[in-house]
Amino acid sequence: MSISECTMCLLSISEDQNRVLLNFSPLPSLSSPHRNRSAFPAAQGEHLHQKMSENGALPLRGKVLTVDTMNANVKKVDYAVRGPIVQRAVQIEKELKEGVKKPFEEVIKANIGDAHAMGQRPITFFRQVMALCTYPQLLDDNKFPEDAKNRARRILQSCGGNSIGAYTTSQGIDCVRHDVANYIQRRDGGIPSDPDNIYLTTGASDGIVTILKLLTAGEGRTRTGVMISIPQYPLYSASIAELGAVQINYYLNEEKCWSLDISELQRSLQAAREHCDPRVLCIINPGNPTGQVQSRQCIEDVIRFAVKENLFLMADEVYQDNVYAEGCEFHSFKKVLFEMGPEYSSKVELASFHSTSKCYMGECGFRGGYMEVINMDPEVKAQLTKLVSVRLCPPAPGQALMDLVVNSPQPGEPSYQTFIKERTDVLSALAEKAKLTEEILNTVPGISCNPVQGAMYSFPRITLPERAINEAKAKGQAPDMFYCMKLLEETGICLVPGSGFGQREGTYHFRMTILPPTDKLKIMLNKLKEFHQKFTQQYS
Amino acid sequence: FRSSAGRLDGKLREKTLTLDTLNPQVKAVEYAVRGPIVIKAGEIERYLEEGGTKPFSEVIKANIGDAHAMGQKPITFLRQVVALCTFPELMDSPSFPEDAKRRARRILQGCGGHSLGSYSASPGVECIRKDIAAYIEQRDEGVPSDWENIYLTTGASDGIMTILRLLVSGKDSSRTGVMIPIPQYPLYSAAISEMDAVQVNYYLDEDNCWALDINELHRSYQAAKQHCQPRVICIINPGNPTGQVQSKKCIEEVLHFAYEENLFVMSDEVYQDNVYAPDCQFHSFKKVLYEMGPEYFNSVELVSFHSTSKGYTGECGFRGGYMEVINMDPEVKAQLVKLLSVRLCPPLAGQAAMDVIVNPPQPEEHTFKQFHQEKSSVLGALAEKAKLTEKILNAVPGIKCNPVQGAMYAFPRIFIPPKAVEEAKALGMQPDMLYCLRLLEETGICVVPGSGFGQKDGTYHFRMTILPSIEKLKVLLGKVRDFHIGFLKEYSGLE
């Protein structure tokens, strides 16, 4: 049968199909190998049969896309922060809404660094400017302060058609990139920053994935290896899996407050050289999930190591404003690199990342962020610009928000006082909660928690009884997953098991955010304490 | 020991990342809409700003469907709702209408901590997914839509890439082949390159108003089967860059073809509100599939895409969009959710904007009149500009332009004299790239060469948007006409 005849068949029956449809309930099963083809003329059936025997396949139109035929790299991706435990938490929330009785009244989601969801208020000035950018008619409203209006006008002037609804250049709005560069320069004590090296991103995640994408090449033993800390933020392992790169683990030292140990970097690199080409070293500072803040000395050592081993450095610095512990200070990789002198600063390829989602603003939903690339080969930079252009541009509201973070109210401006108060309130509450969390957790026998020097999480080590470990293994679950699931079912507290971040074999942890309001956090920590004691008893 | 060897040779420390060591798939990516010609346009713009002189006073960027940049005003109601969501203190302001406040409250109630600053669930805010499903059901005259099949995205591009990513697998002759129209929107070819899938071209019929010809689909599919495994067919309707609107009959044929050949269907419907030709109508693939009966509706795997960037809103900067997936294997759907979760969530402001588009003011609401007036005025002007563009271009000798039935672009065929073709080739350039570069240098008009979208060998085109205001568009088209005539004269030796 010719193609056009075949098409004719279809068209002649399509009207009948309309009618058939009405009588076709329930609809025939998708997977039935003998699907009802009665609406087709016999000739059509023959045609199909012929084709199938050609292929030697069963006379079944299976799904095109199944787990067997899908992208194998995607299958390997794991992202525990929104994994099975979070899905169960959402389910439990629904059950509670439907009136199902539980030993608790609400689910507390301490699984993700989502400040606003935990009740943190947005910074007023930021939202004022964002509202002005969104609806410029408000520029005539005298309830909005002048400094907010000035910022909004400036941002809109560099948007196409003065609208936040226009695409921006793929690298990001010009004036925002300038403001970011100025901010970095101020932050780093005057070390110059070039706006051409700044790329706005859709949250920091987007930037990290993009840089890893550039770096992934080779086959077999020449395949790009990416060194990541263990424990790590699972965006890294997920992206590595998706890109088909090779994950190289270096372990942070839990006994030394999760610090980074150069000899461990060396060990991990040597081992990896056997089977891949290690080309990238990723650092998260302050640490996620581990909360450590790197010392200046440690950063210098890492940079020396990167030079010696010819590694591209990726510095994830999204928690740069979240430093709580006395004696700790945030040092940017960029600053340390330049203070080490031109021998280093003219060589090391570095990309560092920042975001609107963390720090004191916690504006996750806007998906704002930037990266600064240093010493990137100009040809590669052109490739980077091309690659980001396919996605057109990062969301303009997120860019505007990023601008406000790097260009916040200055002394003398009408919004300054309120801004400083709001910022200080958030950061000092976080510092208090960091301390509180460490203290309470360390009173529980079988839980030991390093100081939360920075970021937004504690990552305590938990001792699990042998019987619990065996029961988990029998269920095919990681023991800390088993623990966290039970915790969720019994208390409504949603945490992420340490196995989702990676940990030394035989050790178990969980990650919890320190974001709930202090009262709620206290209740949560006490529930956790009770649960842990009960759990230990039950399985001992 | 690659790195240490470098140092032992006493050479300078080589960069870790160079063009030679870059991901080869990234190198293969091309995206003409923001390609070299646009970079050049940016340079010229800066040169003019710095006081440089050119035979024109401004660069007109007709390269990209960016309505607001071309002066289109935002829809008031949409911006009111998003502003209220952004700064909820405005709920007390009497200058915002109740309809807008109601929508903003509803959206915020669906957000963690009632803030647009919290992450949403990775598939999107639940109430927005429900509004989208209700919208689709209404649009498709009752064809059911399940909100759990709806995924919010960061613009439609993000959704398209995500689905392609799931589909790409296999090696060599079992590598996934992706059927795309030629001319195509270069997001497709770029994504295919980046994922190292196999691009399978099917040519639209320029002589038949860029219609899709089912015989050509068969030809292309059979040819591709020799070297890859074609598993996906992508359709852009209304067409980008070609502006055609598919007939219902044509969609039925495509769906039947996909059914027969076991292809996954991706239907890019971001221009669904942009239909201008009086004899054309938008039909969604979903609706047509349903009307073909359960045999089809229960088996063909279909994903369709929509966006906040086009239509009458033109809100590109918000990066809002959604996709609806039909008949996706439940296990694959779980994998999709997992994949989306790594990027956390699409931007909330974009999700809110999407919500307003699928849930606009209703006739009984106070804001309806103004909303309706703004919407009709945008769409009316676009229809007029579509007509105008076709008419003026067709009056130029050596330019032939199909009717712009829909979308936002004209994709006229241009005659380039053999001497110009030779000159371009000597420069290592596509002839239509030479043409567009000259047009840019001489008139300040930035359009994208047809070679960036793909075209039949030996034919040349460019894509221009119809978005500039009517007065500006007339000037622009006049300049294109003068340039083209001059170009023909110059290279035909007729002076």
| DSSP result, A471-521 | HHHHTT--HHHHHHHHHHHHH-EE-EEGGGT---TT-EEEEEES-S-HHHH
Find tokens 């099917």 and name the residue: B202
Q: Give pLDDT, residue A349.
A: 95
Q: What is the pLDDT of residues B166-219, one digit of tens each?
A: 999 999 999 999 999 999 999 999 999 999 999 999 999 999 999 999 999 999
Q: What are phi and psi of A183, to 5 degrees?
A: -60, -45
Q: Does the beta-carbon distance from A28 to B295 stay under 8 Å? A: yes
Three-class secondary structure of residue A193 per DSSP = coil
Bigger pLDDT: A444 vs A84 = A444
| pLDDT for A540 | 87
A54 compared with B155, residue with greater pLDDT: B155
Whether the CB-CB separation of B24 and A215 falls below 8 Å is answered with no
Residue B154 has pLDDT above 60, yes or no: yes
Question: Higher pLDDT residue, A326 or A82?
Answer: A326
Cβ atoms of B213 and B148 closer than 8 Å: no
Which of these, A298, A317, A375, A312, lies nearest to A343 by C-alpha position? Answer: A375
The predicted model gives A465-474 an average pLDDT of: 94
Give per-residue pLDDT as tens, A121-176. 999 999 999 999 999 999 999 999 999 999 999 999 999 999 999 999 999 999 99
d(CA A501, CA A510): 9
Amino acid at B126: E
3-class DSSP state of A351: strand
Contacts with B, A 53-92, CB within 8 Å:
61-67, 69-72, 74-75, 77-79, 81-83, 90
Residue B420 is encoded by which pair of tokens? Answer: 């110009």
**CA atoms of A28 and B464, how far apart (whole Å):** 47
Specify the DSSP element, H or E, that contains B191.
helix B187-195
d(CA A353, CA B41): 30
Inter-chain residue contact B299 with A61, CB threshold 8 Å: yes
Of B422, B409, B475, the C-alpha closest to B445 is B475
pLDDT of res. A391: 86
pLDDT tens, B421-435?
A: 999 999 999 999 999
Q: What is the pLDDT of residue A60?
A: 54
Higher-pLDDT residue of B335, A6? B335
Q: Is A52 on the interface with B (CB under 8 A)?
A: no
Predicted local distance difference test score (pLDDT) of residue A50: 39
pLDDT tens, B80-122?
Answer: 999 999 999 999 999 999 999 999 999 999 999 999 999 999 9
Chain B residue numbers touching A342 (CB-CB < 8 A):
none
In the predicted model, what is the mean pLDDT of chain B?
93
B83–A contact, CB cutoff 8 A: yes
Lowest pLDDT segment from A13-27, A420-434, B9-23, B250-264: A13-27
Q: What is the mean pLDDT of chain A?
A: 88
Shortest CA gap A465–chain B (Å): 31
Angle at A269 between CA A264 and CA A270, to 5 degrees: 100
Is the pLDDT at A330 greater than 60? The verdict is yes
A117 and B95: CB-CB below 8 Å?
A: no
User: Sorting pLDDT into bands at 50, 70 and 90, what band is A511?
Assistant: very high
Please, what is the angle between helix B470-492 and helix B431-443, to 10°? 120
Confidence grade of residue B27 (pLDDT, cut at 50, 70, 90): confident
Hey, which bits of A285-414 come out as E strands? 312-316, 350-355, 368-374
pLDDT digits (tens, 9 = 90+) for A63-77: 888 888 888 888 787
Are A471 and A63 in contact by the 8 Å Cβ rule? The answer is no
Is residue B323 a contact partner of residue B303, using CB atoms and an 8 Å limit? yes
A287-298: pLDDT as tens digits: 999 999 999 999
- Measured in residues, chain B has a length of 495
Smallest CA–CA distance, residue A63 to chain B, in Å, is: 7
How crowded is residue B279: how many other Cβ atoms within 10 Å of its Cβ? 8
pLDDT beyond 50 at A23:
no
Euclidean distance between CA atoms A127 and B415, whole angstroms:
53
Greatest alpha-carbon span in chain A: 85
* Portion of chain A with pLDDT greater than 70, in percent: 89
| Confidence check: pLDDT of A535 > 80 | yes
Question: Any idea what DSSP says for residue A199?
Answer: E
Q: A248 near A272, Cβ under 8 Å?
A: yes
The model's confidence at residue A7, banded by pLDDT at 50, 70 and 90, is very low
Residue B94 near chain A (CB below 8 Å): no
CB burial of residue B341 (10 Å; 0-12, 13-18, 19+): buried
Is B66 an 8 Å CB contact of chain A?
A: yes
For residue A482, pLDDT beyond 90:
yes
Name the A residues in 423-482 with CB < 8 Å from any B CB.
none
Q: Which strand ranges, in their side-by-side order, compose the sheet holding B302-307?
A: B150-154, B320-326, B302-307, B264-268, B229-236, B176-182, B198-203
Q: Is residue A49's pLDDT more than 60?
A: no
Residues of B in contact with A138 (CB under 8 A): 83, 90
Distance CA B465, CA B61 (A): 9
| The pLDDT of residue B13 | 62
Beta carbons of A70 and B169 less than 8 Å apart: yes
Cα(A463)–Cα(A449) distance, integer angstroms: 12
Residue A4 pLDDT grade (very low, low, confident, very high; cuts 50, 70, 90): very low
Task: Tell me the nearest-neighbour CA distance from A358 into chain B, angstroms.
Answer: 11
Looking only at the bridges linking them, the beta strands covering A447-448 and A461-462 are: antiparallel
Put simply, whether A296 touches B (Cβ < 8 Å) is no
More confident residue, B385 or A30: B385
Complex prediction ipTM: 0.90
For residue A20, the model assigns a pLDDT of 32
**What are residue B200's DSSP bridge partners?**
B179
Residues 333-372 (B) with a CB less than 8 A from some CB of A: 335, 338-339, 341-350
Instruction: Report, as an integer, the average pLDDT of A441-467.
Output: 95
- Cβ separation of A27 and B294 shorter than 8 Å? yes
Burial of B81 (0-12, 13-18, 19+ CB in 10 A): buried
Name the token pair of A42: 């016999």
Residue of A499, A432, A430 lying closest to A469 (CA atoms): A499
Average pLDDT score over residue span B119-141:
96
Q: Cβ of B16 and A112 within 8 Å? A: no
pLDDT for A14: 37
Find chain A residues with C-beta within 8 A of B26's C-beta. Answer: 213-214, 383, 387
Interface of A with B in 486-505 (CB under 8 A): none
* Crossing angle of helices A479-491 and A84-97, rounded to 10°: 10
**Least confident range of A42-51, B81-90, B347-356:** A42-51
DSSP A162-182: G-TTSPPPTT--HHHHHHHHH
Per-residue confidence band for B8, with pLDDT thresholds at 50, 70 and 90: very low
Would you give the distance in Å from CA B260 to the centre of its chain? 28
- Give the pair of three-digit tokens for residue A24: 């076709």
A145: tokens are 């302060």
CA distance A260 to A174: 37
- The terminus-to-terminus CA distance of chain B in angstroms comes to 65
Name B151's Cβ contacts closer than 8 Å, sequence gap at least 6. B123, B124, B129, B159, B322, B323, B324, B325, B336, B340
pLDDT value for A61: 67
Confidence of residue B260 (pLDDT cuts 50, 70, 90): very high
Checking if the pLDDT of B165 tops 80, the result is: yes
Interchain CB contacts (distance < 8 Å): A and B? 352
Nearest CA of chain A to the CA of B225: how many Å?
A: 12
